[in-house]
Copies of this chain bind each other. A is one copy, B any other.
């Protein structure tokens, strides 16, 4: 019996290879109204790709796990850094692990009471996302941000759970380009 060559994740580049991947791209049009500045949003091509997720094909079922890599482009909508839509799990008690691979960013975590936490994302950063905590990646760097994720196959996505309020924090670029964290009402934190 010869040992099989499994799929390979290149930690240096974030590239996933060696398996039939399931891929999903998200454009600015898909996230209409998510960014704070509608004029800046309208000024960008709606087909601008913000991020892509590549995952191993899942077989699903109770107890199974999925894995995938998110590739979030560098860029801004006005002063606001490119970010993922963010979500809570449909089975809200299900947790997730993220591992930063390439680039620089932050992971925004928000619990059901609205309490927010930010964690720096970089090559090798380890992020435990407990159940009942909404999560969003934000690329504050000048290169693509990629992160490995492992999550329960039954978790699912609930994009509406935060309601009209959405996440309570936004990450904008200050005048010198460095990240500045404000509440969704625009106040500095």
How far, in Å, is A55 (CB) from chain B's closest CB? 11
Q: How many residues of A contact B (CB 8 A)?
A: 52
Q: How far is the CA of A119 from the CA of B153 in the complex (A)?
A: 22
Q: Indicate with 1 or 0, residue by residue over A102-146, a CB within 8 angstroms of chain B CB atoms.
A: 000010000000001111100111111011000000000000000
Q: How far is the CA of A96 from the CA of B153 in the complex (A)?
A: 11
Residue on B with the closest CB to A116?
Answer: B1
Total copies of the chain:
2
Interface stretch of the complex, out of A8-16, A42-50, A72-80: A8-16
Q: A93-B62, A119-B6 are in contact. Are A128 and B1 (CB under 8 A)?
A: no
Residue on B with the closest CB to A89?
Answer: B63
In-complex Cβ contact of A4 among B2, B18, B120 (8 A): B120
How far, in Å, is A156 (CB) from chain B's closest CB? 12
Residue on B with the closest CB to A182?
Answer: B1
Residue on B with the closest CB to A13?
Answer: B124
Q: A63-B131, A65-B150 are in contact. Are A124 and B10 (CB under 8 A)?
A: yes
* Residue in A7, A119, A128 whose Cβ sees the most chain B Cβ within 10 Å: A128
A118 touches B62 (CB 8 A): no
Interfacial chain B residues near A155, Cβ < 8 Å: 63
A8 touches B119 (CB 8 A): no
A127 touches B65 (CB 8 A): no
Starting from the known contacts A7-B125, A65-B151, 8 additional A-B residue pairs (CB-CB under 8 Å) come to A1-B116, A4-B120, A6-B119, A8-B124, A59-B130, A63-B91, A63-B95, A64-B130
Interface residues of A (CB under 8 A from B): 1-11, 16, 18-19, 56, 59, 61-65, 67, 91, 93-97, 99, 106, 116-120, 123-128, 130-131, 148, 150-153, 155, 169, 181, 189
22 CB < 8 A contacts A-B: A1-B118, A1-B169, A1-B189, A2-B118, A3-B118, A4-B119, A4-B120, A5-B119, A6-B119, A6-B127, A8-B126, A9-B125, A9-B126, A10-B124, A18-B126, A19-B126, A61-B131, A63-B94, A63-B155, A65-B97, A67-B126, A150-B150
